Structure 1
Amino acid sequence: MKRVIVIGAGFSGISAATKLANDGYDVTVIEKNSMAGGRARVFEEQGFVFDMGPSWYWMPDIFERYFAEFGKKPSDYYQLKRLDPSYKVIFNTADEISLPANMQKLEELFESIEIGSSKRLADFLEESKYKYDVGIGEFVWKPSISITEFFDIRLASKAISLDLFASFGKHIRKFFSNERLLQLMEFPILFLGATPQNTPALYSLMNYAEIALGTWYPMGGMYEIVKGIVSLAEEKGVKFKLDEPVTSISVEGKLAQKVITNKGEYEVDIVVGSADYHHIEDKLLSDETRNYNEQYWDKRIMAPSSLLFYLGINRRVDKLTHHNLFFDEDFNVHADEIYTNPKWPTKPLFYASAPSKTDNSVTPEGCENLFVLIPIAPDLEDTEAIREKYYAIVMERLEAYVGHDIRNHVIYKKSFAVNDFKAEYNSYKGNAYGLANTLFQTAFLKPSLKSKKIKNLYYTGQLTVPGPGVPPSLISGLVVAKQVNKEFKAS
C-alpha cells in the first residue's frame, strides 16, 4: 500500500486525503496547529463560539457532490438552514437593502430600485447559470497542468461564451445602471480577491451561486463542516497528526523520500502539500527543487488580507441580520487602497456577521456573537495600535447604524490580522484568500498543482487550482487526488 503524507489539514488537504484513502492509499495528514480545518478553525470563550475564518456557505451543490463521492450526504454530518434574507447591505443609516431568498420577491425589489431591472436580472441569471454549469461543472475539475486540456473544441467554444476576456465590471453594466444594484451584484467578487474591473466576467457565476442556489448556514457553526469531513476521512482510514509542524521534505534525485517534522520522520511514496504553497517551496524544499523562485511569487497578485474582530456582547444587537455588509463609504477608494496603492484604508468598508441571529447555540442566552472583517492589502504593517484605531472606526459606524451602544457591552474581544495569518497559517504576505482571480491567474496560469522537479510531490489549496474559497478547496483536493491516482496506482 503506497504511503501518502498530506501536509496541512485544511479543506483541500482533508479532501485529497479522503479521496486517496478511499482509493486504497495509506494516508496520514500532518497539521501544525492543534485542530484540523486550516483557516476554518473554531474557538470558544465564555460561552461564545467563534468560527475563525469562512462564514459564508455558498454552492451547496459542491458540498453535495463532495460527500456523494463517498456515498454520503451533508445531512449525514450537519444540518443546513437557508438564510432569509440572504444578507443585508447598508449604504447609510437610512438606506439599506435586505436580499430576500425568494426569487419573486428579489425581482420585485430590483424593479422597485430600477425600472426594467427585474427582467434584466432574469436574463443575467440565465447567463450566469450557464457559466456556473460549465465553469463549476467542467472547468474547475481540470488539473490545469497544461493548456492542452482546454483544446477540446466543445470547451473552447464555451470559453468564448463564458466571457473569459471581458471584465466583470463592464459585463454587469450591460444589465444594470443603478449604483446600489451594481454594488449588490459586485459584492461577491470581493471574495475572489480583485476589483470587478480586473475580474473575468466568467465569475458572474458567483451571482448565480449566491442568488439562485442560496446562502446557507450549518447549525452549530461553520466548523461543523470540518468535523463532518474529518469524520468521513477517519471512516476511510485517514490518520491525523496534530500539533506537528513539518520542518522539511527530504528529496533524493527526483523523488521525495521523507517528510520530517518536529517530532519525527515519515517515509513516503507520495507527498501532497496542502499548506501554503510558497511556504512549502521556501521553507521545506531546497532552492533547486522549487517550482517557482521568489521573484515569481512576489509578482503574483494576492487576494486581500483581513483585520478580524471576534466580539462577545452581553446584549442583543439591534437591526443586524446574520450577514451584514457596510458599504457606507466609497468602494472604489477602499479597493484602490487594497489593490493599486496598498495601505491601511482611509475609510474602510467592512462586513459584520452575527451567527447568533440564526443559531442560539453559539452564545450564552441574551448575548450576541459578532465577527467583524475589514479587507486590507496583504503584507501591511500590523500593530496593536493600528488594530485599535480600526476597531474604533468600525464600532463607531456600527453603533450609529444600530442606534445603541455596543462597545460597553463587549465582554470578550480578540483581533486577528496580517501577523496572525503569517504565524498561524504560514500565509504568504499574510493573505487571507490566496491568489486574486485575475484573468492571468486563472486555470493553467495559476501555480501548478504538480511539482516540476519532484515526481511524487503535488500541491493543493487556495494558491493553486481552482482557487480560494471552501468549495474550490474541496474541489482542489479531489482534483489532485485523481491526478495522483492517474500517475501512481494504489498498490
Structure 2
Amino acid sequence: MNKTISIIGSGFSSLSAACYLAKEGYNVSIFEKNKTVGGRARQLIKDGFTFDIGPSWYWMPDIFEKFFNDFNKSTSDYYVLDKLSPAYKIFFSDDVITIGDHMDQICEEFERIESGSSKPLRKFIAQAQDHYNIAINKVVLKPGISPLELVTKDTITRVDRFFKTISTEVRKKFKNPKLISTLEFPVLFLGAKPSQTPSFYSFMNFADFGLGTWHPKGGMYEIIKAMRSLAESLGVTIHTNSTVEKINVENGKTTGITVNGKFVASDVVLSGADYHHSETLLDKNYRQYSEAYWDKRTFAPSSLLFYVGFNKKLNDIEHHNLFFDTDFEKHAEDIYDNPKWPENPLFYVNFPSVTDKSMAPEGCETGFFLIPIAPGLEDTAELRTQYFDIIINRFESLTNQKVKDNILFKESFCVKDFISEYNSYKGNAYGMANTLRQTAFLRPNLKSKKVDGLYFTGQLTVPGPGVPPSLISGKLVSELIHKKNV
C-alpha cells in the first residue's frame, strides 16, 4: 500500500494514529510546528530541573498498555512505571485528605472525615467500575458517526445515568463538603462542572480510586519518547519546525498540505492540531463549523502554569497536591458561568521530584503550579505575577513553611502561550468539555463532511479530552481512514 498520509501535529493522538496507519502499510509523515514532538506534552529542562509542561497525571494505565500491546510491545519496553503511594493530597482550610493507593486506605480516610461514609463509597466506586468497563471497552471505541452507537443493552439499562449528573449522585450519598469535592474533582479532567457532567462519567472515579495514580520515571514526556520511537520503527517520518500553512483541496478532495511554503502531496490529510485552527487552514467553503458554532461550545479550562525551581526539599507535600481551601463552586462559576479571573482560585501543585530524583538536582525540588481559568481571558505579566503571589502565600500557609526565598527561578505559561504554541482556540488547555450535549456523535467529527480525504483527531473530537482518550482518538481515526482506503 503506497498511499501517503500527512499528519498535522505530533501530540498523543497524532502519534497514536501514525503508528496504527504505518502498521497497515501507509506512507506516513508527521509535520510539527514546534522544535520538539509531543504537542502539549513537552518538557522544560533548566539548570538540572525537569518539568512536564503539559499533562502531569498518569491515569488509566490499562489504556497505555493496550496501545503498546497493539504493536506487540509493552509500556515496560520503553519506560518504568511507579504507582504513587499516596496518590495525592487535598489541602482544605482546616484539614488535609490523603488519598491512598488502594480502596481500604481511602475508605479509612473517608471514615475519618464522615463516619459511615465508606459503605456508600464502596457502592459508588463499584458502580463507577461498571461504568468504566462499559465506557472504555465499548462506548469510547465508537467513532462518533451515529447516535445509534450509544444504543446498546448496556447503555439502555443505564440510560438514567446519562441524564443525572455527577454532582447529583455524589450529593445523594455524601454530606461532607470535603468528601463531595474529593469525589467531584476527577471529572474536572473532562473539562466541565460536575453539575453539567453526566453521572455515567463517574468512571473517572474508578480510574482514580480503583486503578490508582502512576508516574513514568523521567516524567510524562517518556511516553512521547516511547511513541516516537515506536512510530519511527514502523517507518513514520517526523518533521519538526514544520508549520502547516494550508490544507489544499481540489474539487472537494484534499491534495495535500503547504508546509513552510512548500506543497506536500498527500492522498489523505489528518490533523491532530486544534480542530478550530485546522479548519482555518481550509478555504471557507470547505469548513464544516462556523465561528458561531465554536463560540457556543463549552470548552475545558485554560490554565495559568508556573514552573518553579526550589533550592531545598519541601515539607509536608506529595507528588500531586490539590489546594481546595477556597470555594470550589465559586471557582467553577468563574470558569464556566461568568468567565473572569477568579478571586480565590483553587490550584494544583505537582512535585515529581518527591518520588523521582532524576527530575531535580540533589537537595532541590521541581514544582509545577496550575490554576484552572476560563479560556479567552486577558493574559498579562502583571496578572501572572499577581496570581503567583496569591497561591504561593496560600501554599506557605497551608504547608507551614517558607519557600519564597528558596525560589531559584520561575517561568510561566498561560492563555497567550497556548495560542502561540499550540494554536489553541481561545487558549484552552484541555480541548472541548464532555457535557451531555458534547458527547460522542455530538462532538466535531473525525471525518470531514465537506472534504474527501480529510480527517481530524485529538481533544476537540471523539472521544474527548485527556491523554488516554487522545490515544483512543488516534486509533479510531486510523480505523476510519483504513476502512475507506482498503
Query: TM-score, structure 2 length as denominator?
Result: 0.98
**Does the aligned pair in 1 maintain the 2:143–2:462 contact within 8 Å?**
yes
Query: Match for residue 291 of structure 1?
Result: 288
Query: Match for residue 480 of structure 1?
Result: 477
Q: The residue matched to 2:202 in structure 1 has which SS?
A: helix
Structure 1 residue 149: deviation in Å? 2.6
CA distance in 2, matches of 1:155, 1:404: 51
Query: Match for residue 173 of structure 2?
Result: 175
Of the three residues 441, 445, 460, the one matched with 2:442 is 445
CA distance in 2, matches of 1:155, 1:145: 19
Give runs of aligned pairs for residues 27-66 of structure 1, distance below 5 A.
27-66=28-67
**Does the aligned pair in 1 maintain the 2:349–2:369 contact within 8 Å?**
yes
Of 96-105 and 382-391, deviating more is 96-105
Structure 1 residue 380: deviation in Å? 0.3
Structure 1 residue 103: deviation in Å? 1.8
Give runs of aligned pairs for residues 377-396 of structure 1, distance below 5 A.
377-396=374-393
Deviations 1:78-128 (A, max 9, x none): 000000110000002x41011111321221221222222111111111111
Query: Match for residue 110 of structure 2?
Result: 110
Structure 1 residue 403: deviation in Å? 2.2
**Does the aligned pair in 2 maintain the 1:244–1:263 contact within 8 Å?**
no
Structure 1 residue 373: deviation in Å? 0.1
CA distance in 1, matches of 2:375, 2:209: 29
Aligned length: 485
AA of the residue aligned to 1:241: H
CA distance in 1, matches of 2:231, 2:268: 18
AA of the residue aligned to 2:420: A
Query: Match for residue 247 of structure 1?
Result: 245
Query: Match for residue 201 of structure 2?
Result: 203
Q: The residue matched to 1:458 in structure 2 has which SS?
A: strand
Query: Match for residue 134 of structure 1?
Result: 134
Query: Match for residue 341 of structure 2?
Result: 344
Structure 1 residue 155: deviation in Å? 4.6
Deviations 1:249-273 (A, max 9, x none): 1100121102101152211011111
Query: Match for residue 5 of structure 1?
Result: 6
CA distance in 2, matches of 1:277, 1:101: 37
Q: The residue matched to 2:471 in structure 1 has which SS?
A: helix
CA distance in 2, matches of 1:200, 1:167: 4
What is the alpha-carbon root mean square deviation over aligned residues? 1.0
Query: Match for residue 83 of structure 1?
Result: 84
Query: Match for residue 188 of structure 1?
Result: 186
Query: Match for residue 261 of structure 1?
Result: 259
Structure 1 residue 154: deviation in Å? 2.2
Q: The residue matched to 1:461 in structure 2 has which SS?
A: coil
Give runs of aligned pairs for residues 307-346 of structure 1, distance below 5 A.
307-346=304-343
Of the three residues 272, 275, 279, the one matched with 2:273 is 275
Deviations 1:336-377 (A, max 9, x none): 111000000010000000000010101111000000000000
AA of the residue aligned to 1:134: I
Q: The residue matched to 1:136 in structure 2 has which SS?
A: helix
AA of the residue aligned to 2:391: V
CA distance in 2, matches of 1:22, 1:154: 33
AA of the residue aligned to 2:118: S
CA distance in 2, matches of 1:132, 1:176: 21
CA distance in 1, matches of 2:23, 2:306: 39
**Does the aligned pair in 2 maintain the 1:307–1:418 contact within 8 Å?**
yes
Q: The residue matched to 1:379 in structure 2 has which SS?
A: coil
Give runs of aligned pairs for residues 425-444 of structure 1, distance below 5 A.
425-444=422-441
Q: The residue matched to 1:429 in structure 2 has which SS?
A: helix
CA distance in 2, matches of 1:73, 1:455: 35
Of 169-178 and 61-70, deviating more is 169-178
Of the three residues 368, 371, 394, the one matched with 1:371 is 368
Structure 1 residue 29: deviation in Å? 0.4
Query: Match for residue 74 of structure 2?
Result: 73
Q: Does 1:148 align with 2:145?
A: no
Deviations 1:219-275 (A, max 9, x none): 011100100011011111111000010000110012110210115221101111100
Aligned residues with identical type, % of pairs: 51
CA distance in 1, matches of 2:155, 2:210: 26
CA distance in 1, matches of 2:455, 2:256: 14
**Does the aligned pair in 2 maintain the 1:443–1:466 contact within 8 Å?**
yes
CA distance in 2, matches of 1:155, 1:98: 34
AA of the residue aligned to 2:222: E
Query: Match for residue 300 of structure 2?
Result: 303
**Does the aligned pair in 2 maintain the 1:420–1:430 contact within 8 Å?**
yes
Structure 1 residue 158: deviation in Å? 4.5
CA distance in 2, matches of 1:344, 1:134: 38
**Does the aligned pair in 2 maintain the 1:308–1:417 contact within 8 Å?**
yes
CA distance in 2, matches of 1:407, 1:114: 35
Q: The residue matched to 2:145 in structure 1 has which SS?
A: coil
**Does the aligned pair in 1 maintain the 2:98–2:109 contact within 8 Å?**
no
Structure 1 residue 156: deviation in Å? 4.3
Structure 1 residue 159: deviation in Å? 4.9
CA distance in 1, matches of 2:103, 2:354: 23
**Does the aligned pair in 1 maintain the 2:6–2:256 contact within 8 Å?**
no
Q: The residue matched to 1:38 in structure 2 has which SS?
A: coil
Deviations 1:417-460 (A, max 9, x none): 00000000000000001111111001100011110011100100
Q: The residue matched to 2:97 in structure 1 has which SS?
A: strand
AA of the residue aligned to 1:252: E
Q: The residue matched to 1:250 in structure 2 has which SS?
A: strand
Deviations 1:7-35 (A, max 9, x none): 00000000001000001100000000011
- 91 and 280 in structure 1: CA distance in 2 versus 1, 3 angstrom threshold: same
Query: TM-score, structure 1 length as denominator?
Result: 0.97
**Does the aligned pair in 1 maintain the 2:305–2:370 contact within 8 Å?**
yes
Q: The residue matched to 1:170 in structure 2 has which SS?
A: helix
AA of the residue aligned to 1:323: H
- 71 and 302 in structure 1: CA distance in 2 versus 1, 3 angstrom threshold: same
CA distance in 2, matches of 1:106, 1:172: 16
Q: The residue matched to 1:390 in structure 2 has which SS?
A: helix
Query: Match for residue 96 of structure 1?
Result: 96
Deviations 1:21-65 (A, max 9, x none): 001100000000011111110021111111111000000000011
**Does the aligned pair in 1 maintain the 2:245–2:261 contact within 8 Å?**
no
**Does the aligned pair in 2 maintain the 1:31–1:241 contact within 8 Å?**
yes
Query: Match for residue 419 of structure 2?
Result: 422
